[in-house]
Structure 1
Amino acid sequence: MKQKLLILISALIIPFIILSCKSSVNEPDYLDDAILSSLIESDDAILNFDENFDDGDATSFLVGKVQTDLYPIKVGRRITKMERTFDRQVVGDSAKVTVTTKFTGYLIIAGKFNPINPGDTSYLPDTIITKPFVETVKRNVTFIRTSSRNDRNRGWKLQAISLPEGSTSVKNIQITKIEALVPGKDPLVITSPLDTYFFVGDPNKDLPSRKRNDEVTLKVYLTSNSPKEDFVTLTYGRKIAGQTYKIKRKLNLVSSVQVGDKWEKVYQGGWNIFVVHPLGRFHSVINAVTNETIFSVEGNVSSSTWGIPYKVN
């Protein structure tokens, strides 16, 4: 009789324990991947980084060189796959999430094997080189949970975003510092992207604010394994309603100093907010690839990427 009673009690208790455990794992306020994706992909700045990382095709640069395997005329990235994963730390009503995005695609280089004169727009490429690559970009994002928890995101909202930092597995080049200089304003100096945060909606800590016709000077500091000039670009703006308000610019080498077996270099160029730049939240992409990546047929893709979100009002 006692044995039957024990079996009956166990049959009643065990399902309750299982249901209790399941409930604690899938609690109503849990910050799951679906909510994270919804919040992140609804932020215009983060979304614009993904858009600007993908050139879709090669862009004209006219960067002809001598003593090289290939004379590039157009260079660009075409992304074929994007995978995002989340590493979260949730404490009460706040959370810090490291967002890792893996971009898979091809670097497209259109050029000629015969020498060309830089700046001569009459040249047309007769050779197209495609180089497969995978670049992994990380960004930290913080979230807070509000008292209203009846929406589809269970009360969670995006609080702050860090700057992104990415690279390929081949690390022959590395961005180390970025400066954005605007006349009459304090310079924006970035040395650690993942530790640099902008707080959404905070007037004192929100994205850097720019106005149309602002003239910004961008300086990119990097370390390279090659003494040759690397290929450093700035992409910003956006395509809206079929219209292209997007610019990709090549930065110029202004300094190169050998330190040990590496070269510390500085590149500089204009980041001007053109007069028809749309209003809103955006994200620049600052990318550096080695000389061998662009000017050699056989060279693997070695890339380093940072970026700066900004708003135009």
Structure 2
Amino acid sequence: MKNSKKFLLKFSSAIFILFFASFIGCKNSPTDSVVNTEPTTDKAALEKITLEDSALSSFELNYNEEGMMDMMSPMGMGKTTSEIFPVKVGRKITSVTRTFTITQLSDTTAEGNLVLVFTGNLLIGVTKDPSIKSIDTVISKPFVTTVERNVKFVKVANTNHPLQNWRISASSLTKGGTNSANIFIKSITVKLPSGDEILITDPLNYYLSHGLGRMKQIPIVSQNQDVTVEVEIHSAYASEDFVSLTYGAGFHNKMNRAKRKFVLLSDDGLGNKVYSQTYRANSFMGYFHAVIDAMPTQVIKDDTAPVESSAWGFPYIVK
């Protein structure tokens, strides 16, 4: 019995010594080092700030609809030569390529351009019977779209840590699509609950302040308040276009993403059409994006038509 106790004591001591030695060895090992991901240059810092900014990156959360979505307004399921009737429509992004370029850099300010290339599929849930809304076929159309925005920065410090030295002072709206000459957005008018109206005709040169400077602030909307958006489209096609609004998805509440189809207000017969829709800011606070996407009607009603798209996006804050 005594021999067993001595053996256990010696064994336990040996295990403790080995553990302690390995701990010291690991701690002092020259191959172990903490990976420092903090940017070491101004360019890298500006890119990181841009990609991680909540107001800017919320565009992707609403542009990527992650699949087919119900439309919270009539689809206008008119018959086409291909005899399909769309029930649900949505973009599903499979990859995103982000390219950030510094276009101007001084001791106190900087400007950059962010280009996003989306590769994905437009998913269209259709039925052959317009009297019911039961999907019997899903059509998948591949697409590649390119969107971009401009960002302005201001230097707020002069430390050895570039990430601490810069802040976004303002950013433009987002503009892009498939670059088709057959359909494009000419302007949008945003009617806020306060009574203020914002008219945008050149989104890449329309800047919203991020709290620094004297530019227009990012629109602030109270929870559950309505915002009306009017969109002017130029289309080479005589029929009513498929113009949609996707909104409501944030970093902590993607499930609140919603989609509405715009209603045609006027058509001058020369390709210029005005559409309108109203959306309600959800009950979650934070940064969001409203994404407007205009496509010819045959994109969703003709299974042989390629994807043509023009998309703009604007940020808003829910408080």
Q: What is the match of residue 16 of structure 1? A: none
C-alpha contact 1:29 1:154 (8 A) present in aligned 2: no
Cα offsets for 1:192-212 (capped at 9, x unmatched): 101111111149632011112
Could you tell which deviates more after superposition, 99-108 or 212-221? Answer: 212-221
Q: What is the match of residue 87 of structure 2? A: 73
Q: What is the match of residue 248 of structure 1? A: 259
Could you tell me which runs of 5 or more consecutive residues in structure 1 were left unpaired when the two chains were aligned. 1-27
Going from structure 1 to structure 2, the CA distance change for 1:158 and 1:131 (only over 3 Å counts) comes to: same
Q: What is the match of residue 103 of structure 1? A: 118
Aligned-pair CA distance for 1:176: 0.5
Take 1:293 and 1:149, find their aligned partners in 2: how far apart are those partners?
A: 52
List aligned pairs for 1:189-268, cutoff 5 A: 189-202=199-212, 205-239=216-250, 241=252, 244-259=255-270, 263-268=271-276
Aligned-pair CA distance for 1:150: 3.3
Could you tell which deviates more after superposition, 223-232 or 198-207? Answer: 198-207
Q: What is the match of residue 180 of structure 1? A: 190
Aligned-pair CA distance for 1:68: 4.1
Q: What is the match of residue 87 of structure 1? A: 101
Q: What is the match of residue 155 of structure 1? A: 165
Q: What is the match of residue 3 of structure 1? A: none
One-letter amino acid of the counterpart of residue 48, structure 1: S
So what's the TM-score if we normalise by structure 1? 0.82
SS of the aligned residue for 2:249 comes to strand
Equivalent of residue 130 in structure 1, options 117, 122, 140:
140
Aligned-pair CA distance for 1:311: 0.7
Cα offsets for 1:130-176 (capped at 9, x unmatched): 11111110100011222242335151221111001102043321001
What's the RMSD between the two structures over aligned residues?
2.0
Aligned-pair CA distance for 1:31: 2.6
Could you tell me which runs of 5 or more consecutive residues in structure 2 were left unpaired when the two chains were aligned. 1-38
Going from structure 1 to structure 2, the CA distance change for 1:44 and 1:115 (only over 3 Å counts) comes to: same
One-letter amino acid of the counterpart of residue 110, structure 1: G
So what's the TM-score if we normalise by structure 2? 0.80
Going from structure 1 to structure 2, the CA distance change for 1:231 and 1:310 (only over 3 Å counts) comes to: same
Take 2:212 and 2:195, find their aligned partners in 1: how far apart are those partners?
A: 19
C-alpha contact 2:157 2:164 (8 A) present in aligned 1: no
Equivalent of residue 116 in structure 1, options 121, 130, 138:
130
Going from structure 1 to structure 2, the CA distance change for 1:182 and 1:199 (only over 3 Å counts) comes to: closer
Q: What is the match of residue 294 of structure 2? A: 288
Could you tell which deviates more after superposition, 243-252 or 135-144? Answer: 243-252
Q: Percent identity?
A: 35
Q: What is the match of residue 279 of structure 2? A: 271
Going from structure 1 to structure 2, the CA distance change for 1:203 and 1:255 (only over 3 Å counts) comes to: same
Take 1:141 and 1:128, find their aligned partners in 2: how far apart are those partners?
A: 38
C-alpha contact 1:234 1:251 (8 A) present in aligned 2: yes
Take 2:254 and 2:206, find their aligned partners in 1: how far apart are those partners?
A: 32
Going from structure 1 to structure 2, the CA distance change for 1:294 and 1:310 (only over 3 Å counts) comes to: same
Take 1:203 and 1:245, find their aligned partners in 2: how far apart are those partners?
A: 32
SS of the aligned residue for 2:248 comes to strand
Going from structure 1 to structure 2, the CA distance change for 1:38 and 1:81 (only over 3 Å counts) comes to: same
Going from structure 1 to structure 2, the CA distance change for 1:48 and 1:156 (only over 3 Å counts) comes to: same
Going from structure 1 to structure 2, the CA distance change for 1:97 and 1:239 (only over 3 Å counts) comes to: closer
Aligned-pair CA distance for 1:99: 1.0
Take 2:193 and 2:152, find their aligned partners in 1: how far apart are those partners?
A: 32
Higher alpha-carbon Rg: 2
C-alpha contact 1:65 1:115 (8 A) present in aligned 2: no
The count of corresponding residues between Structure 1 and Structure 2 is 275
One-letter amino acid of the counterpart of residue 81, structure 1: S
Cα offsets for 1:109-141 (capped at 9, x unmatched): 1102x2404xxxx52111111111111101000
One-letter amino acid of the counterpart of residue 94, structure 2: T
